[in-house]
Structure 1
Amino acid sequence: MHRTIRSLINRLLAGLSLFVAACASVPPPPAGAQDQNEGQAIEIKNSSLPLKIDEPAATRIDRLIWRGGVMMTTNSPHFGGWSDLHVSADGRSLTSISDEGAWLTATIDYNSKGDLVGLSQGRLGQLRGLDGKPIATKVEADAEGAVRLADGSWLVSFERRHRLWRYRTLFDTPVPVEGPAEIGRQPANGGLEALTVLADGRVIAISEEYGQRPNTAMGWIGEPTAGGGYLWRSFDYATIPDFRPTAIALLPDGSIAAIERAFDMVRGVRCRVMRFDAAQLRPGATVRPEELARLAAPYAVDNLEGMAATKGARGETLLWLISDDNFNRLQRNILLLFELAP
């Protein structure tokens, strides 16, 4: 097939998939995990992805070097919707949360070159609500951001009913954390998707769709306070038309990486991988990130919503990206690994 036609078809399919997902029903929480704190063991099937469909030998796009990618499937109807990502410092294990309130843990597998080949030893469970029971409704379960704090606990952001909860472990009962004053003003499906923590303990959060100035999204710097809370001060995150922030991650050098996503029915899903210096994070300031790469068909891309960063065996910076398939058969759960070029 002519590559121009194939590229157009790929973009149309991606667009159709997101449209269908917006109307689709979602499965209930994993019934088998409701009485098992440790979740259920699942078998993850991994299919290798090339960086570029029509050029399988391609290994680089702009500032990113390809280190492997996989499409993941399981026999569980509750596997999907992955909205944020954490990878252990040694690169051996992965944790993700879903916009249906699920959590996933898995072992990361590599080839002899240290490139990603898949996930194994997966476990799947359901986040709990304040009553200690698994969250069962979409309005309550829409987890979009998750960051591991210095004490090993997790701070999770939710949209639709905008809030922050802290979990000692992802299968414990959470405690509420007071969020920014503007948290309730965000659109129902455009809340706190981007969440990370700096080395000094400050939490950084960015709204997907809420902003008070043209061509910006509002972000917040959370300064830790006594009792486990935060003092929130806002900043602006500069955006361009169509693209909205969906994830951020602290890089090993102390700078910040981000994903920005765009979608329309003609061009499908496009994502920008961004970076900015942490020194830009000041109350009242405007963060202006630089673009590292732009992913669109025929490159490997889907509805990328989660990001993590680690240091590789050679000291290189590795960026991990995971997608939310919206539980739609026309979309994919993909995990991508890139090395940041010097």
Structure 2
Amino acid sequence: MLAFCLLITACTSVSPPPASAQEQPVEIRRATLPFKIDEPGAARLGQLIWRGGIAMTATSASFGGWSDLHVSADGRTLTSISDVGGWLTATIEYDGKGNLAGLSGARTGQLRGPDGRAIQGKIEADAESMTRLADGSWLVAFERYHRIWRYPTLQGVPSLVEGPPDIARLPANGGIEAMITLADGRIIAISEEFRRRPGTVAGWVGSPQPDGRYHWRAFDYPTIPDFHPTAIARLPDGSFVMLERAFDIARGVRCRITRFEAVDLEPGGVVRPQELARLASPYAVDNLEGLAAGKGRNGETLLWLISDDNFNPLQRNILMMFELAEP
């Protein structure tokens, strides 16, 4: 996570109270999010078509910091993790047109460590990316204390997964920010800030081995000035979509969404992303860190994005949905 405050001189971020490892219900309050503040009828930006958005608050003080996102194949169940070690599950609600309307049946808890205790504190609990394996288990990547843990369930006790050889060299606050599982069991992991060559960040493809380990091969993902990857998802056609984010005081938060082909993931190669859209004020945007993709009820390709509010009252937890237009 790129830790920042929207106004440095007025930063009032606070750490949330320790959360229980026990699963518990939480009521999510929502407010409708306009796509473009100064143009109520706006519905498209680049190749993204607006399908609804909400700003979320909750009855739990530990609600927030959402750093990655998974949506089930049927588009009904949302799962997220936070950068203080929390997790969230909820049912996604849609209106009569199939647009995002809200969340219901939400439940939260705290990830555990190998000792079975709830993980606490920023260094231990900074979960930044997640992916679900074919057997239903989860891989969660943490930064600061860089490692990948495998959870049988999000309420379960994890085991360590051997990560890429470079994992110990990753910047403290720039670790594995994007991660996804492929149908054949391979794992794609991309660093937020670690570079092997100028103008790129490092990524790896991990192939599962008979002994349960992964054989990791490196590639590079090109970046543009100020933007860093925060999430990855696979589209129904087999290509990939990436979420990137930038921030500075003068321009605030900006995010861009890119797409690249699976054939670009060659050992030692460089991905060739195509920009689909760029979000910045007055369009709906915040510290977007989570991304999921899937199909809608009419066969359209949908993208869901979630933000990390850093537990800062000047920021928001937002959830947005877009339809990906045909080129």
User: What TM-score, normalized by structure 2, do the two folds share?
Assistant: 0.96
Give 1:28's match in structure 2, choosing from 5, 14, 17. 17
Q: Distance in 2 between matches of 1:160 and 1:216?
A: 21
Which one has a larger percent helix, Structure 1 or Structure 2? 1
Q: Equivalences for 1:2-151 in 2 at 5 Å?
A: 16-17=5-6, 19=8, 24-30=13-19, 33-34=20-21, 36=22, 39-151=23-135
The aligned counterpart of 1:273 is 257
Give 1:309's match in structure 2, choosing from 286, 290, 293. 293
Q: Distance in 1 between matches of 2:215 and 2:89?
A: 31
Q: Distance in 2 between matches of 1:312 and 1:224?
A: 31
Q: 8 Å contact 1:29–1:102 — kept in the other structure?
A: no
Q: Deviation of residue 191 (structure 1)?
A: 0.5
Deviation sequence 1:19-38 (CA, Å, 0-9, x none)? 479884412331xx33x3xx
Q: Deviation of residue 16 (structure 1)?
A: 4.8
Deviation sequence 1:192-246 (CA, Å, 0-9, x none)? 0100111221100000000111000000000011132210010000111100101
Q: 8 Å contact 1:49–1:70 — kept in the other structure?
A: yes
SS class of match (1:171): coil
Q: 8 Å contact 2:5–2:11 — kept in the other structure?
A: no
Q: Equivalences for 1:193-212 in 2 at 5 Å?
A: 193-212=177-196
Q: 8 Å contact 2:112–2:158 — kept in the other structure?
A: yes
Q: 8 Å contact 2:164–2:216 — kept in the other structure?
A: yes
Structure 1: give runs of 5+ residues left out of the alignment.
1-14
SS class of match (1:336): strand
Letter in 2 for 1:169: T
Deviation sequence 1:240-275 (CA, Å, 0-9, x none)? 110010100011111000001000010000000110
Q: Distance in 2 between matches of 1:195 and 1:186?
A: 15
Q: Distance in 2 between matches of 1:52 and 1:75?
A: 28
Moved segments of 4+, more than 2 Å: 15-25
Q: 8 Å contact 1:21–1:326 — kept in the other structure?
A: no
Q: Distance in 2 between matches of 1:230 and 1:29?
A: 33
The aligned counterpart of 1:218 is 202
The aligned counterpart of 2:167 is 183
User: What TM-score, normalized by structure 1, do the two folds share?
Assistant: 0.92
SS class of match (2:148): strand
Q: Distance in 2 between matches of 1:242 and 1:286?
A: 19
1:325 aligned to 2:312?
A: no
Q: Equivalences for 1:287-302 in 2 at 5 Å?
A: 287-302=271-286
The aligned counterpart of 2:218 is 234
Deviation sequence 1:115-165 (CA, Å, 0-9, x none)? 001111110100000100000121010000000011100000000000000
Q: Distance in 2 between matches of 1:301 and 1:318?
A: 18
Letter in 2 for 1:40: Q
Q: Distance in 2 between matches of 1:341 and 1:318?
A: 9
Q: Distance in 2 between matches of 1:303 and 1:213?
A: 26
* Superposed CA RMSD: 1.3
